[in-house]
């Protein structure tokens, strides 16, 4: 009998540390002689700093210094740096010059012996500008939109198939509409913070809120001319990231800059208001045109998107990539353009590109269903893609039809009335809507190590992250099952740049990337134990091959005869070995290139709309997902629940509003930037559809972070139409738009 943990609903192994406060975050290390930094942000969106007067700030007791572009020279670095999640263009570096590129750009750092003194002194820093005319309105910048240089991280924009415009004109039914989407800010619970600890020998230990310690280490070493062994980055716990931590944020640069200057430990923590001066999901303006025959067969699909970027970077997303993939259609063309605005650069935010792209596509599919008088679910089934049409390869697995069937049955789709305003309950208009979801399932390169000691304790490590998804837990499960150990004897270490290399945690690829490396490292330990076991005189495993042995309950056992076994401890003691270590690096198998590897979902939403007030409630949602092998149903369900809640926010609440006169996001607090609260969240149901995939990675697992969100906003918007007969194409759907 083998020890089984993979696939079991297991509580978080780091849960107790978090609820008891033992988990320490980037702004919480207990460091003596600590200096606090407070950022001064630019009050204009574009221009040049002509003067900075810190005289009053420096006169405040406890203030040590004020750093600006005038007194913060950087060393010339010997090493280059490639941001794992970066975009073509110029990486923003604070204090590089006197140019102001966006409102709230950090232009000074006040350093004092307490946070309160630093904050007060920051209010006394006087700045003069030569202000220039700025542009922060995407609509006004459309005429200058351009084809961007593409990110290495993303696949190229799919080329055209057939002649979409001609097929559209010849179609019996057509929709050709524009959809708008606002900027959204990430707003993780933990604010961005960094603590840089200066050591006497000149080395640095940096505690940072990040989704990639190796990425931050590379950035800091390149900027400050360190070798890897001179600068260590730690991030064992992260209070949410949602993509905002994929790239180094400016506070970590400032903390290191100040620690080097003062030769003391420095902490820089951003306020919630300052977090709105960081990255965000960009604005999007999209056109989707669909043409179909009278029986609902798609014969034309056009998807064009324009999004904003900054003046210094060409940030782009896979917004239109999903449209040529999701439905069978012979005539498809897509395009993506950027428009530069005087804002900070956008950044990857949960399901980047797909969040906006699938809102537009799935809303247009609903509009086409109305035009054809065909059930929206039936329309999708008739156009189900059996192969990856973009690359002309089969899918490694695709159980989307089962998602449709199971989700529809659970939500009661058969009771849906196609006519808007046909159903009422307790005085409210009731509507049902649905949407499809898709996200890629890649496997990247990663390394891991595993060390088994004589007392039976196993320590596995990799420089990945856990941003709340359950990485600690699922990696411990994989290791425990692979070596047949109790879960409480396994420790997984992450968030340390000195550990084996792993990519940033994002894109729904961590389980599929780090998991196989952990499994491979543990198998190497098992193989070494097997070699030691065979050295025992008259070994019970003599004559047994490695393939015929299974690890179980701290023993190596013959599969054919479990009574023939050697304990790990006996194998190690016989050879006088105190520990056994295995390291492994894994990556994608070449056979994966012959398949499209994706996860899919079907999202169903019920809404109740107060006809007089325009208020919208979402009393029920069902998400059915085909996500390969689910490693931990408990943490997996939590990820999808989070995506459903976020989808409510996308559809009904979240919007970063710019005052174009000042070029600044104005609702920069959680009192004004609305996110769902308990009263907004009701019955959410998650269904994991059985899906076996032997190609996608050795574990057969697909990521869940993104697929839990995509399609949700469209399902809610489609339900609102079914309830009211009003099609809202600009998110969020607020009272004024309905009334």
Where along the chain do its domains lie?
A: 15-21+443-587, 35-133+186-275, 141-184+280-442+593-738
Fold of 35-133+186-275: Aldehyde Oxidoreductase; domain 4 (3.30.365)
The answer to whether domain 15-21+443-587 has CATH 3.30.365.10 is yes
How much is the pLDDT for 618? 98
681: region left, alpha or beta (phi > 0 left; psi from -120 to 50 alpha):
beta
How much is the pLDDT for 561? 95
Q: Is 11 helix (H, G, I), strand (E, B) or coil?
A: coil
H/E element holding 72? none
Query: Minimal CA–CA distance to 529: which of 499, 489, 484?
Result: 484
- Answer positive or negative: Cα dihedral of 134, 140, 143, 148: positive
Specify whether 419 is catalytic: no
pTM: 0.97
Q: Is the pLDDT of residue 721 over 60?
A: yes
Query: Minimal CA–CA distance to 519: which of 575, 447, 597?
Result: 447
Fold of 141-184+280-442+593-738: Aldehyde Oxidoreductase; domain 4 (3.30.365)
DSSP secondary structure string for all residues of 640-705? HHHHHHHHHHHHHT--B-EETTTTEES--STTTS----GGG--EEEEEE-----SSS-TT-B---T
Query: Minimal CA–CA distance to 348: which of 277, 438, 215, 242?
Result: 242
Q: What is the mean pLDDT of residues 339-347?
A: 98
Cβ atoms 12, 473 nearer than 8 A = yes
Residue with tokens 């542009």: 135
Cβ atoms 478, 6 nearer than 8 A = yes
How much is the pLDDT for 79? 87
How much is the pLDDT for 639? 97
Confidence of residue 76 (pLDDT cuts 50, 70, 90): confident
Enumerate the H helices of 225-313 as residue ranges.
250-262, 272-275
Q: Do domains 35-133+186-275 and 141-184+280-442+593-738 have the same CATH topology?
A: yes
Q: Helices 471-483 & 510-535, crossing angle to 10 degrees?
A: 30
Report how far Cα 364 is from the mean position of its chain's Cα atoms: 26
Cβ atoms 243, 278 nearer than 8 A = no
Residue with tokens 């079991």: 8
* pLDDT, tens digit (0-9, with 9 covering 90-100), for 539-583: 999 999 999 999 999 999 999 999 999 999 999 999 999 999 999
Query: Minimal CA–CA distance to 125: which of 213, 21, 41?
Result: 41
* pLDDT, tens digit (0-9, with 9 covering 90-100), for 389-443: 999 999 999 999 999 999 999 999 999 999 999 999 999 999 999 999 999 999 9
Q: How many CB atoms lie within 10 A of CB 681?
A: 14
Confidence of residue 73 (pLDDT cuts 50, 70, 90): confident
* pLDDT, tens digit (0-9, with 9 covering 90-100), for 162-181: 999 999 999 999 999 999 99
Task: Check residues 77 and 457 and name the one with the higher pLDDT.
Answer: 457
Tell me the backbone φ, ψ of residue 180, rounded to 5 degrees: -120, 145
Catalytic residue among 84, 261, 655, 706: 706
Cβ atoms 49, 132 nearer than 8 A = no
What DSSP state is assigned to residue 344?
A: -
Cβ atoms 284, 307 nearer than 8 A = yes
């Amino acid at each position: 009998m083998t020890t089984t943990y993979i696939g079991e609903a297991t509580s978080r192994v780091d849960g107790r540390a978090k609820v008891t406060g033992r988990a320490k975050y980037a702004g919480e290390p207990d460091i003596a002689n600590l200096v606090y930094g407070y950022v001064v942000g630019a009050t204009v969106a574009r221009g040049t700093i002509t003067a900075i007067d810190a005289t009053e700030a420096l006169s405040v007791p406890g203030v040590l210094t004020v750093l600006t572009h005038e007194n913060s020279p950087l060393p010339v670095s010997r090493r280059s740096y490639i941001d794992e999640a970066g975009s073509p263009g110029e990486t923003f570096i604070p204090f590089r010059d006197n140019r102001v590129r966006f409102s709230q750009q950090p232009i000074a750092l006040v350093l004092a012996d307490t946070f309160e003194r630093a904050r007060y002194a920051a209010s006394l820093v006087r700045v003069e500008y030569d202000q220039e005319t700025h542009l922060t309105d995407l609509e006004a910048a459309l005429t200058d939109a351009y084809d961007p240089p593409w990110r290495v991280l993303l696949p190229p924009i799919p080329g055209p198939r057939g002649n979409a415009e001609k097929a559209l004109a010849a179609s019996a039914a057509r929709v050709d509409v524009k959809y708008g989407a606002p900027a959204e800010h990430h707003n993780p619970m933990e604010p961005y913070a960094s603590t840089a600890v200066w050591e006497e020998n000149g080395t640095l230990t940096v505690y940072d809120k990040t989704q990639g310690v190796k990425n931050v280490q590379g950035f800091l070493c390149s900027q400050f001319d360190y070798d890897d062994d001179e600068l260590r980055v730690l991030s064992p716990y992260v209070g949410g990231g949602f993509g905002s931590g994929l790239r180094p944020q400016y506070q970590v640069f400032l903390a290191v800059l100040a620690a080097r200057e003062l030769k003391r430990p420095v902490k820089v923590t951003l306020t919630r208001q300052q977090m709105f001066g960081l990255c965000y999901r960009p604005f999007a303006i999209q056109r989707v045109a669909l043409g179909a025959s009278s029986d609902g067969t798609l014969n034309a699909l056009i998807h064009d998107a324009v999004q904003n970027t900054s003046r210094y970077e060409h940030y782009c997303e896979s917004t239109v990539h999903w449209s040529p993939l999701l439905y069978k259609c012979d005539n498809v063309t897509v395009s993506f353009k950027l428009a530069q605005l005087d804002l900070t650069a956008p950044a990857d935010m949960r399901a980047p590109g797909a969040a906006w792209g699938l809102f537009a596509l799935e809303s247009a599919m609903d509009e086409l269903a109305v035009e054809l008088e065909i059930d929206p679910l039936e329309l999708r089934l008739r156009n189900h893609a059996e192969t990856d049409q973009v690359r002309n390869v089969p899918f490694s697995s695709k159980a989307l039809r089962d998602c449709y069937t199971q989700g529809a049955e659970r939500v009661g789709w058969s009771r849906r009335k196609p006519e808007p305003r046909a159903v009422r309950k307790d005085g409210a208009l009731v509507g049902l809507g649905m949407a499809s979801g898709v996200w890629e399932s890649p496997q990247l390169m990663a390394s891991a190590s595993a060390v088994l000691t004589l007392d039976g304790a196993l320590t596995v490590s990799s420089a990945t992250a856990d941003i709340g998804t359950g990485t600690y837990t699922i990696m411990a499960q994989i290791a425990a099952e692979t070596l047949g150990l109790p879960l409480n004897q396994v420790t997984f270490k992450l968030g340390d740049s000195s550990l084996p290399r792993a990519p940033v945690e994002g894109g729904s690829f961590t389980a599929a990337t780090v998991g196989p490396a952990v499994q491979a490292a543990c198998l190497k330990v098992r193989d070494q134990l097997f070699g030691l076991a065979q050295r025992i005189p008259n070994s019970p495993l003599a004559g047994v091959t490695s393939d015929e042995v299974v690890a179980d309950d701290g023993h190596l056992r013959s599969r054919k005869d479990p009574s023939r076994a050697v304990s790990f401890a006996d194998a190690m003691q016989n050879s006088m070995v105190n520990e056994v270590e295995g390291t492994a690096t894994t990556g994608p198998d070449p056979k994966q290139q012959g398949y499209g590897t994706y996860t899919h979902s079907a999202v169903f939403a019920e809404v109740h709309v107060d006809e007089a007030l325009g208020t919208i409630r979402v009393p029920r949602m069902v998400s059915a997902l085909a996500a390969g092998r689910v490693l931990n149903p408990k943490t997996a369900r939590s990820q999808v629940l989070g995506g459903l809640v976020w989808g409510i926010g996308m559809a009904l609440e979240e919007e970063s509003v710019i005052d174009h006169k000042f070029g600044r996001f104005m609702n920069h607090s959680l009192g004004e930037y609305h996110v769902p609260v308990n009263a907004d969240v009701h019955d959410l149901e998650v269904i994991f559809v059985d899906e076996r995939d032997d190609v996608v990675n050795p574990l057969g697992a697909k990521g869940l972070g993104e697929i839990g969100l995509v399609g949700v906003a469209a399902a809610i918007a489609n339900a609102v139409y079914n309830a009211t007969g009003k099609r809202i194409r600009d998110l969020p759907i607020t009272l004024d738009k309905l009334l």
